[in-house]
Amino acid sequence: MRTPKLLTAAGLLAAAGLASLAVLAPVARADDSGTATPATPDSGASASASPSDAAPTEAGTNFRTATPVKQGQQATAAASAGDYLYWTFPADSGQNVTVKATVTFPSGAVRHGPSTWQIDVYDGLRRRQACRYGMQTRTAAADVTTVQLACTLRTVRAWAEPWSNDPLRGAYYLRLAVLDLPQTDLGLPVQAAVTATAHGTAGEAAVDGSVTPVVTANGPELAPDGGWAGTWWSPRWLWTGGGGLLAVLAALGAHRLARGPVRLSAPRYSGEPARPREPAGYSGYSG
């Protein structure tokens, strides 16, 4: 009786499998040549880049109107010599941020002397951050058409003392401005392009505490692509665990050296204990 039931169940499963294949068959359609071609999506449903993902083409004129830009994006802006240009970008703990800026002068513009340009980087508390290395300030001669600036910040920290000037995670501001140029060159059109990149999560800069990322009201959604890092995990956990394991191994080795070799077998004893031997010339007790 079980054999017909099993055959019936197998037949039902086979029919269900064929039905599912028939439902999935429209995913690929056959052309006139007899080969199957995947179905193409409707042109109206094609994905297009959202406006927020596009690189910005303008810059703000102060901290409040700074233009948000993501890490790795190249933001551009058409401005005039003498303008202050502001952008803001996110930086998380452990990152080593490098900011680059390029100022391009029109080829047909008449310039009357050299000009000095500089980029400055501020953290979310608007504290100016020093550059570890890079050409933060450069002077362009009158015949130079491009000026390139760069600044690499110190490693961003998750927590710092209130009196320190260590860079904290959150929104960072980039300001591009001209420091010195002939009075007659003020207002000349220029094209600016900036890029902020970050690499690494330095374990030696990790700390136990963490502060909330400092962001601005004009860019509350400003955050790295993967979101802000958690507050409990730190690469120092790896160093702590590795140090504890090495300490345990060192303790076991010291204990082994201190107690000496270990006997693997117990000493062998005879069935009866050995009797003491009588001294020579002893004849026993005589009353």
On the question of pLDDT at 78 being above 50, the answer is yes
pLDDT-based confidence at residue 222 (cuts at 50, 70, 90): confident
Quote the DSSP letter at residue 106: -
Query: In the prediction, which pLDDT does 205 show?
Result: 54
Look at 29 and 71; give whichever has higher pLDDT: 71
What would the mean pLDDT of 40-44 be, rounded to a whole number? Answer: 38
Query: In the prediction, which pLDDT does 40 show?
Result: 38
As a whole number of angstroms, the distance between CA 76 and CA 188 comes to 17
What would the mean pLDDT of 97-121 be, rounded to a whole number? Answer: 91
Query: In the prediction, which pLDDT does 163 show?
Result: 79
pLDDT of 267-283, one tens digit each? 666 566 667 777 776 66
Among left, alpha and beta (phi > 0; psi -120 to 50; other), residue 25 is alpha
As a whole number of angstroms, the distance between CA 64 and CA 134 comes to 27
pLDDT of 153-194, one tens digit each? 998 887 777 778 888 888 999 999 999 999 998 889 999 999
The region of weakest confidence among 16-25, 63-72, 97-106, 130-139 is 16-25
Q: What is the mean pLDDT of the chain?
A: 75
Domains of the chain in start order, with CATH, are 53-232 (2.60.120)
Q: What is the CA radius of gyration of the chain?
A: 38
Look at 34 and 126; give whichever has higher pLDDT: 126
Query: In the prediction, which pLDDT does 28 show?
Result: 31
As a whole number of angstroms, the distance between CA 186 and CA 178 comes to 10
Helix (H, G, I), strand (E, B) or coil at 126: coil
Q: How many CA atoms lie less than 13 Å away from 133 in the CB half-sphere? A: 1
On the question of pLDDT at 110 being above 50, the answer is yes
Please indicate, yes or no, whether the overall pTM of this predicted structure exceeds 0.85: no
Look at 104 and 25; give whichever has higher pLDDT: 104
Query: In the prediction, which pLDDT does 62 show?
Result: 93
pLDDT of 12-33, one tens digit each? 444 444 444 343 333 333 333 3
Spatial strand order in the sheet of 189-199: 74-80, 189-199, 96-104, 146-153, 131-133
